[in-house]
């Protein structure tokens, strides 16, 4: 059965005490609750161990926002998948458009990152999505197809089953412009169709595909009501417990 997932991406926000307080507040808000989705928070690296220690990780999964494309060694400043796993984190967000755009993440690097994440027992939340020019040219399907074909479609079926896909149109990230429910559903159905062609219908039906891009407490319920939208990757609205909890409760 595919899972519904609401995953927060804190990006480069919150000092360690602030992040810990946010995680503890969310943990308290979910104590006794039975959400109809898995809940994940993607924190900066330095928060991972403290957050995983402070919350009930059976209720809230912890995600890193990146990992190194190398296993270990002389790569100053990098954080490996095994280091992430050792903090108690279970997920890693990979291929976010901000990393592709500002840190030169190529498909080749992402293939290494995905492989290392899987080898270390982390669940990749693999992001894809087009820029505004691509959408305006109505080339978003080809663009997203290429992004997937160059990376996660090279996985074995067994490995592909372990990943989560997040479609995040770049024009909707942090802009307050949400893709319309129809645009989001249409793209997620298209992605599920691609997965079915590549790996078969059973795997396609079991893959969790998330929408991300200005998803908030007001629009989440309508987005999540769509047959192919299995949850959200949430940036800004994950920095506030009331908003994030309202998105979780939208399921
Ligand atoms: C994101 O960056 O993953 C994201 C979806 O951001 P926001 O919700 O702020 O648009």
Question: Can you tell me the distance from the alpha carbon of 21 to that of 64, in angstroms, rounded to the nearest whole number?
Answer: 18
Ligand 1 centre and the CA of 72: distance in Å? 30
Nearest alpha carbon, ligand 1 atom 1: 235
Select from 176, 149, 153, 189 the least CA-distant residue to 235: 176
pLDDT of 156 > 90? The answer is: yes
| Domain residue extents for the chain | 5-248
* Least confident stretch, 42-51, 55-64, 92-101, 170-179: 170-179
Question: How far does residue 152's CA lie from ligand 1's centre (Å)?
Answer: 21
Position 207 confidence tier, pLDDT thresholds 50, 70, 90: very high
Per-residue pLDDT tens digits for 211-251:
999 999 999 999 999 999 999 999 999 999 999 999 999 99
Superfamily of domain 5-248: Aldolase class I (3.20.20.70)
pLDDT surpassing 70 at residue 25:
yes
pTM of the shown model? 0.97
3-state DSSP assignment of residue 162: coil
Q: What is the rounded average pLDDT of the residues 21-28? A: 98
| Banded pLDDT at 1 (limits 50, 70, 90) | low
Q: Round the average pLDDT of the chain to a whole number and report it.
A: 97
| pLDDT tens by residue, 164-202 | 999 999 999 988 888 899 999 999 999 999 999 999 999
Helix or strand or coil: residue 103?
Answer: coil
Question: Ligand 1, atom 8: nearest CA belongs to which residue?
Answer: 235
User: What pLDDT, on the 0 to 100 scale, is given for residue 174?
Assistant: 84
Beta carbon of 174 within 6 Å of any ligand 1 atom: yes
Using CA atoms, how far residue 104 sits from 45, 65, 233, in Å, is: 19, 15, 21
């Amino acid at each position: 059965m595919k899972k519904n997932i609401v995953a927060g991406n804190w990006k480069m926000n919150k000092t360690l005490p602030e992040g810990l307080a946010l995680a503890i507040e969310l943990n308290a808000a979910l104590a006794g609750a039975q959400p109809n989705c898995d809940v994940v928070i993607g924190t900066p690296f330095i928060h991972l161990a403290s957050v995983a220690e402070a919350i009930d990780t059976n209720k809230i999964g912890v995600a890193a926002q990146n990992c190194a494309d190398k296993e270990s060694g002389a790569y100053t400043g990098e954080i490996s998948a095994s280091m992430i796993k050792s903090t108690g984190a279970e997920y890693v967000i990979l291929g976010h458009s901000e990393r592709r755009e500002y840190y030169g993440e190529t498909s080749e690097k992402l293939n290494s990152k995905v492989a290392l994440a899987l080898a270390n027992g982390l669940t990749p939340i693999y992001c894809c999505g087009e820029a505004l020019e691509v959408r305006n040219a109505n080339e978003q399907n080809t663009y997203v197809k290429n992004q997937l074909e160059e990376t996660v479609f090279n996985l074995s079926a067994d490995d592909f089953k372990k990943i989560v896909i997040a479609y995040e149109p770049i024009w909707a990230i942090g802009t307050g412009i949400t893709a319309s429910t129809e645009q989001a559903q249409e793209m997620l159905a298209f992605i599920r169709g691609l997965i079915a062609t590549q790996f078969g219908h059973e795997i396609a039906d079991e893959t969790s595909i998330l929408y991300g891009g200005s998803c908030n407490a007001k629009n989440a319920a309508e987005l999540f009501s769509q047959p192919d939208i299995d949850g959200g990757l949430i940036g800004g609205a994950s920095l506030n417990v009331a908003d994030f909890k309202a998105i979780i409760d939208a399921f």
